[in-house]
Every structure is written in C-alpha cells, then in structure tokens.
Chain A
Amino acid sequence: MTVAEKKHRVIEPDSLIGKRIPKMDAPDKASGRTRYIHDINLPGQLHGRILRSARIHALIKSIDTSAARALPGVHVVITAADIPDQRPIGVAKDHFPLKVGRVRSERDEIAAVAAESEEIAEAALKLIKVEYEDLPVIGNPEDSIKPGAVLIHPEPHGADGSHLHLKQGTSIAHRGKADNVAMRFDYSHGDVVQAEAESDVVIEDSFKLHYVTHCCMGVSGMIAEFDSAGNVLMYSNTQVPFLHKREFAEYLNIDPARIRIIQPPIGGGFGSKLDIYPFEVICLFLARAAKRPVKMLFTREEEFLASPTRQPVLLTLRSGCKKDGTLTFRQVHTLHDNGAYTSWGATTPFVMMQTFSSLYRVPNCDYHTAAVYTNNPYAGSFRGYGNLQATFAIEQHMDMLAEAIGMDPLEFRMKNAQDAGEVTGQGMSFKSCGFKDCIKSAASRSDFSRKFAENHANQKKPGNIKRGIGMASMLHVGGGAKIYPSDGCGTILKMDDFANVTLITGASEIGQGSETVLSQLVCEELGLPISAVTVVNNDTAITPWDVGVHASRTTFIAGNSAIGAAKKAKSKILAVAAKKFDCTEADLDLRGGFVIRADSGEALVELSKLLRNLHFQDKAELVMTTFYYEPPSVHQDKGFKGDVSAAYAWGNQVVEVEVDTDTGFIKLLKVTGAHDVGRVLNRLGIEGQIEGGVVMGQGYAFTEDLMIEDGKMKNPNFRDYKLVTAPEIPEMDIAFIESMDGEGPQGAKGVGEAPAICMAAAAANAIANATGVRLFELPFTPEKVYRALHGQTPKRYWKPWKAE
C-alpha cells in the first residue's frame, strides 16, 4: 500500500480491552532467555551464606568464628558483634538481622560468610562454633498467653543497636515486652449483645487454620554492591522497592538517595516479598565489609525455613440470625501465632475484620484479636492476607445458620448479600457491586440447588463414595488499599520517532502480567498495537514512585496512572494535529497508528510521521508526559471505620467433591466460579490469575501443611510439603461479572488475591453436604477427614482469651 492510499484509508474502531493478549515477556521466559536474579553474576562477585540457629529458643553464650575466618577463600565473616550499629527490622522493629544475645526460632541468623564460592562459604559456616543456653520453647499460641509463660522479647533494643545493656541516653527502638502479645486489634459496630437477644438462632464454633507457605518456584536471593562513593546497588526480588529503599537506608544509616534497587524478573511473589527479611540486610552488611558484590541465594530447604508463612489462626465465631434469614450479628475472637518476630502477618486482622464486618449485611459485629509471640516461624503477608482464614469460618457459618432455620443456603446468602450503593457498618462504600450476580451465576452454572438437595438425600444411603457441593463468597479490596498515607503510582510515558511508546511505571511485575495490562490500557488511548510498547518497570533510579505490589492494587492504581499519562500524550498530539488539519481536537482521534477523523475514521496522517515532524522543527517538542494517580478513598479512623479502597471485588465459588468415607480421600471434581472484576481487560491474563488462585486455594484446603513441632519445621521440602500437581486440578468453569466500576481503569477492579479466598470454605461446605460431617480444621487430608467421619475428632472449642 502506498502512503497516498493509506491516507484515504478508513480505519475501523478496534479495541484491545477484553481480548486474549499474550503476556509480553512470555516468549523469552519460555525460551529460557529471561535472566532472574539467580542467573545474574557480577564480575568479582562473592557468595554469601548464613549460619542459622541450631536451637529453637536459647541464649547465645559465645560465638567463635576464628576457624571460619582462617579458611582460604573466605573474605568476610560477620556476627552481630561486628555490626555495632545494627538496627532492628520488621513491622514492629522487634529483631536484628544478625541476632544479638538470644535466638528465638529455628531460622535465626547467627553469623554470615562471604567467600569465593558457595562451597567455601558453606564450609566456613561449619567451622563457626556457637555455645547456647537453652530456654523453654513456646510451640503454640495458647501456651504463649498462659500466666508465667517464658517471655520471648523481654529485653529492650536500643536504636543504636545496643541490647541487654543499654547505654545511658540511648533512644529505644523496641521496648521489650512484659507479655507475649505482639499486636492487637479490636473492632466493633452496633450492639452484639442486643442483637443476640433478638436472634432466633445463635451458633458458636472454633476453627483452626494451619501454617502454609508461598513456595515461590524461584528461591529468595539478592545481589548487593557498594560503589567507591558508598552508593548501593541492589538486585532484589522485593515487591515494594520504593518503600524498601527508605528502610534499607535506615538499616545502613545512609541517605535513601544512595540506594538503587533493580528488580530482575521475579520467580513468584504472592506477598512473600512485601517485607524486608534478615538475609537482605545481612547481604548488604557482607557487601559493605567485603567491598565486593555479594550474591546470596537460598537453598530450597532454607526457603522453607526462612521465608514467611501464612498466619496460623485459632478462631471462635459466634453468629446469629432470625427465622426469616436475616443475619443479626457476628462476634469473633482470634488468636494469631505471630511466630518469633513480627512481619505483616500480624496485621492480617486488618483485612479479616473487613470480611467479618462486611461480607453480607452484618448489622452488629464485634471482633477482638491478638497476635502472640511463639518460637515458631514468623508469618508474613500471603495472597488473601487473612481473608482465607476469615472466610473459612464465616462461610461455614452461613451454611450452618441456613440449615438451623431450614433455609436453602443459596437463598440465605442472596437474602443477606449487598447491592451497589450500600455502605457497611465499617464504612466500606460499595460503588460497583456484582455480589448477587456472582452468587447467582456460580449457583446456576453449577446447578447448585438441585445437586445440594440430591447429595443431602444421599448422605444416609449405602456406599462409601459420597458427592458434595458447597459454595462460599468473598469480599476483598479491589481499588487499592489506603494502608499508607499514599496509595499512588507514577507513570512516565515517552514516544519516539516511530510512534513507539516507552511506558515507565512504578508498578512492579511479579508474574501477574501487569506489564501487558498497562500496555493495553496505553494502547487503547493512543490507538497503537501492543507491539508498540516497551515497558520499563524495574529500576528505582528510572521509574517513578509506587507503593508496591500488594492488595490486588496494580491494575487499578498503576492502570489509572498509565491511562492518565497516555491521555496527556494524546491531547498533546491531537493539539498539533488539529492545527495541521485546521480543525478542533474533538474532530480527531488516534487509531491503528494514524491520526484519524473521529466521525468517519478516515486516516489523516501516520502518527509516526506526525511525531517526526514535531521533533524536527524549530520549536522541537518531544511527546513525553508524567502522571500520578491517587484513588479517592479515605483513611480509616482509629476504630477502623472508613472506606479503605476505592472499589471492592466480589466473588463466589462452588466446589464439588467426591469423598471416600472408607479412606477419607477427597477428590476435587469441579470449581465453578464467578468473579466481579469490574471489567475484563486481558481475558488470558485474568483467567490465569483465577485458575492459579483456585489451585493455590485447593492446596490450602487439601494438601499443604507446614508441620511445626515445638518450633521445629518437620517438612522443609517439596516431598513432604505437598503442592497440588497437574493431575489433581479440578475442572474449572470461571465466569466474569462486569460491574464496570466508575473509578476503575476501563471499569476494571483488582483480582489478584480474590480467587484463592473461597476454596477452603467452599470445600468444607461441600464435604458437609456429602457426609453430614463438618470439618473445622485445615487441611482436609485423608487422615483428618477419616478421623472426623469416624467420630474420632473431638469438637474443639477455643475459649476466647482476653487480656486485662
């Protein structure tokens, strides 16, 4: 086609939104070309390894590193004594990267080595001699709060790193604790006592949620290097580079401006990379001391031992309703096993309370919780952030309340489900809300009501194979989460002479496909194909600020920011074009790589040609824009009332199982899901998110169990920690409810965490439907199920604990 022909061409409207767009980095990943942190090696690089505690809870009496230091090939050996200015890290600033005076869990870092090779570093660790004096071990949270329990953090930490014997005038970083309570949350709305008096049915049960961990396929790692001026370059897998830049600076006692974080492609995140962990700070200490780049990679065993976990929870839920099916109240007490130190896991009640207070209409709600120290692994953030645990209890009670008043569980849910425009007792404002549509869609596509009745009738019939169907719903933030003073994200967008876009975004990519969705949103504004976009998203020295990947926020927040930048670029371009074609900007549009007439679609000029004209003229102008987006949500008050997100995601999943009552073995047959995602942006990507989340939820419900006995991890490997494999996945039928959120980018809401949330709860309901037996404790392994079915599981009651 000649240029003249192109000029008179009519370009039909087209859109990338809702299409199946392959992930932009997939070809390289599938060819083995992508360089993860494990694949990067710097000239002169040393290898770092960490010596971990041989005890669970003990005082460190002495550390002798002399033999390790003498080993040929060893450059640096450090212990806490070598870093006198160590500062405490973590969400509660309650531990040092290298432990001082005391170890509190199996993972605890005692010393670290940087050597010529991993083998030499490993050999050096074996030469370090440590003397301990054992202390009593607290292996579960119930023991932790008993009167007279040994204290896990009795001593204060000074801000200067001093410990045990604080120097006079030292400011205190962590006060030390007179009890083992790490964090508490108390929430209420309405009057639960009055509501209980008005209820026709009241039930109360205790639930126990277990330890699971992320199992990212790429193990944790970091490379750190200091230049001759003391500037730090880190290759890191963090999900939150900009917040961590500031934190790392604090731990190194340098200006944050001196820290540059590059994120190579990340081998899985799921929340695990949301906090700073000791190994990262230790790697920096080693690099600083060695004056050489230091690379530190975990082994898989170390990944199990020293990575965060999902928060284990003991939960007692009391709920009530009226005979007509109206929910009256929820009263909840939870006790969280914080582990030895405090990471984000301790703050999961913040999300749990949203579910307790606002999943269905709950007129009265009371929630009290404590995260308490034990000598177990410490819990971090993990996809769903407490919501899997809360939903497990609530959605079982929804079925149990329905049964108690003789109502169909579907009808009971529909009666209490919210509509758009409602504001909950906690103050969450549902602007778009496809909740009822989700329930209806999942129920009708799975033929829920018929199967539910049929299975129920079959419970008492002979035969060991029983079928069950169960449902659960979920509510989660879908429009960012105001947990920091800002929830914004910056975008820089520039266009070159060939109408290619470089999209420089603060948003981190951890495999979820943000780079592709952000590119789609930009292309939609600028009328370009996806191949025209290059995304830069992994270098704090280049990209603008962003809070980080968490709370299912990236598509919503970074998406709106990218759209804002593209709109600015578009208006710049159209202003020039309007002058050139002697019309108004409103007469023009961008489509298919051309400036077109908006009404007829007639192509006026190739965009690349127009851009070249712009660049090569007297007053040369480059199309380059910046944009920052902050959603219109408000901070919660001190009582946690308020609207934490600009939009909320809804979902319902129906699970079908086959239970073998002779063996306790459960086959997961089918999952029918419906998710209110606002709008589907990339159908391929969103299906992948949902399917992956469903299977992760399946693992939580059925197979995964990180076994900890008195602080010792029994199964730190894939042989004994059972991830779901390909033959075990269920048939999946997923539908999307498009509620077109008014604030969302092209109407979309966040979805990353949502699909994992319902599975365990829906599975429990399906097992009860199949067998008439209710399981209150995860995971549903054959042994546990067999025992429950054969009356060998005493009903557990956890008496809510209240501190005076």
Chain B
Amino acid sequence: MSALKHEIEFTLNGVKRKVTVDVTMNALDMLRDVVGLTGTKYGCGEGECGACTIQVDGVSLNSCLMFAVDCAGRTITTVEGLTDQPRGEALRDAFVEHGAVQCGFCTPGMMMQADHLLHKHPHPDEGCVKRGLEGNLCRCTGYKKIVDAVVACGADK
C-alpha cells in the first residue's frame, strides 16, 4: 500500500510549512488529514459543489481537484486564514448578520469564493454575486441571504 511520497514546502495562511504527502493525494485531503485544518469541507470530491474552495496565489479553486504536490511553492489560504484578514472578517460578520448560515457545511467554501469575488469585483451587484457563486452549492438557504451578505459586504467599502 505504500504510495510514492513527496516533500513539499508552501505558505499556508501566512505561515511557511513543510509536509510529506502521497503523490496521489489531493490538496483537500492534505489540508484536512495531514495539516489538520478541517474548515475546508469535502462535499463531492469532483469539483461540483465548491465546499472545498480554497485560494491558491489569490485565486479560488476546488481543493479536491488539485494535487497536494502542486501546492509546492504556492501561497494557500483556507477559511481559517481568511477570517484573520479584514475582508474575511467583514465577510464572516456579513454572513452572520444576514442569516447566510444554516447548517453551515457549504459556508467555508462560500466564504472563500465570496472573498475571491470581492477581490475581483469590490462592489458587485446582485447578478455579479450570483454568477460568482454559481459553482458553490447550498441546500439550506436558497442562496438569497448568502447573496445579500456578499453584496452588503461589497457596499460597505
């Protein structure tokens, strides 16, 4: 069962770190099982639900579709790091205040995608936010309050 291992170095939420991973492992499993940050969620494992969204060099992507070894030399942000930053904190507060969280399982991925969206479109309108969150599934909220939260967060600045 011994898979080929590889040591990689990257920056995770502002901290440089070194980990050894199976070459077949995806970034999601590395974050959850090797690093131990469980804020990033497994929803489908095939890039359809967005629950595992992280940012790599400032760009949002599905961590389940990225090989862990491809994190080498990159700057990775997860939801745990996001809420330490001013925009992440503002987003979290907006999600809370607007009722955008119910079961909460999609929320970390939504937060990561919304942050990326606000980076590209600092003052998005409703249509822009809806398009930006299209790849993130939520089964509880009907999306409206999530969209409201992101629009409000953009309007604040």
Chain A residues packing against B (C-beta within 8 Å): 20, 22-23, 25-27, 29-36, 38-39, 72-73, 117, 119-120, 123, 214-219, 265-270, 299-300, 510-513, 684-685, 687-688, 691-696, 717-719, 723-727, 729, 732
Q: Is B137 an interface residue (CB 8 A)?
A: yes
A688–B145 CB distance below 8 A: yes
Distance between A722 CB and nearest chain B CB, rounded to angstroms: 10
A729–B142 CB distance below 8 A: yes
B142–A696 CB distance below 8 A: yes
B48–A717 CB distance below 8 A: yes
A695–B95 CB distance below 8 A: no
Q: Which residues of B contact A268 (CB under 8 A)?
A: 103, 105, 139-140
B1–A73 CB distance below 8 A: yes
Given contacts A119-B1, A723-B137, contact A36 B142 (CB under 8 A): no
B48–A719 CB distance below 8 A: yes
Chain B residues packing against A (C-beta within 8 Å): 1, 32, 37-46, 48-49, 51, 78-80, 83, 91-92, 95-108, 111, 127, 129-131, 133-147
Distance between B9 CB and nearest chain A CB, rounded to angstroms: 23
Given contacts A38-B38, A39-B38, A73-B1, contact A217 B102 (CB under 8 A): no
B104–A726 CB distance below 8 A: no
- Listed by A's residue number, 10 A-B pairs whose Cβ atoms lie within 8 Å are A22-B96, A23-B96, A25-B104, A218-B43, A300-B43, A695-B144, A696-B142, A719-B46, A726-B133, A729-B142
A718–B142 CB distance below 8 A: no
Q: Which residues of A contact B144 (CB under 8 A)?
A: 691, 695, 729, 732
Given contacts A32-B38, A218-B105, A727-B130, contact A22 B140 (CB under 8 A): no
The 6 closest A-B CB pairs, nearest first, are A32-B39, A511-B103, A29-B104, A695-B142, A267-B105, A32-B79
A688–B99 CB distance below 8 A: yes
B79–A218 CB distance below 8 A: no
List 13 other contacts, CB 8 Å, given A36-B41, A219-B42, A719-B46. A22-B97, A22-B99, A30-B108, A32-B79, A38-B42, A215-B137, A218-B105, A267-B41, A511-B104, A688-B142, A691-B144, A717-B46, A725-B133
CA distance in complex: A717, B141 (Å): 21
Q: Which residues of A contact B48 (CB under 8 A)?
A: 717-719
A214: nearest residue on chain B (CB-CB)?
B139
A29: nearest residue on chain B (CB-CB)?
B104
B38: nearest residue on chain A (CB-CB)?
A39
CA distance in complex: A266, B105 (Å): 8
CA distance in complex: A779, B138 (Å): 20
CA distance in complex: A372, B41 (Å): 38
CA distance in complex: A39, B45 (Å): 16
Distance between A254 CB and nearest chain B CB, rounded to angstroms: 32
CA distance in complex: A718, B49 (Å): 7
Given contacts A32-B108, A717-B48, A719-B46, contact A688 B102 (CB under 8 A): yes
A35: nearest residue on chain B (CB-CB)?
B38
Which of A265, A718, A727 is close to B137, meaning CB atoms less than 8 Å apart? A718
B99–A692 CB distance below 8 A: no
CA distance in complex: A694, B141 (Å): 9
Distance between B65 CB and nearest chain A CB, rounded to angstroms: 13
Q: Which residues of B contact A117 (CB under 8 A)?
A: 1
Distance between A668 CB and nearest chain B CB, rounded to angstroms: 12
CA distance in complex: A725, B134 (Å): 6
CA distance in complex: A659, B16 (Å): 54
Q: Which residues of A contact B146 (CB under 8 A)?
A: 726
CA distance in complex: A34, B40 (Å): 11
Given contacts A35-B38, A726-B136, A727-B131, contact A30 B111 (CB under 8 A): yes
Q: Which residues of B contact A684 (CB under 8 A)?
A: 98-99, 145
A27–B92 CB distance below 8 A: yes
Q: Which residues of A contact B37 (CB under 8 A)?
A: 32
A217: nearest residue on chain B (CB-CB)?
B105
B102–A692 CB distance below 8 A: yes
Which of B38, B80, B134 is close to A726, meaning CB atoms less than 8 Å apart? B134
A30–B95 CB distance below 8 A: yes
Distance between B87 CB and nearest chain A CB, rounded to angstroms: 13
Which of A31, A267, A511, A719 is close to B92, meaning CB atoms less than 8 Å apart? A31
CA distance in complex: A123, B146 (Å): 40
B44–A717 CB distance below 8 A: yes
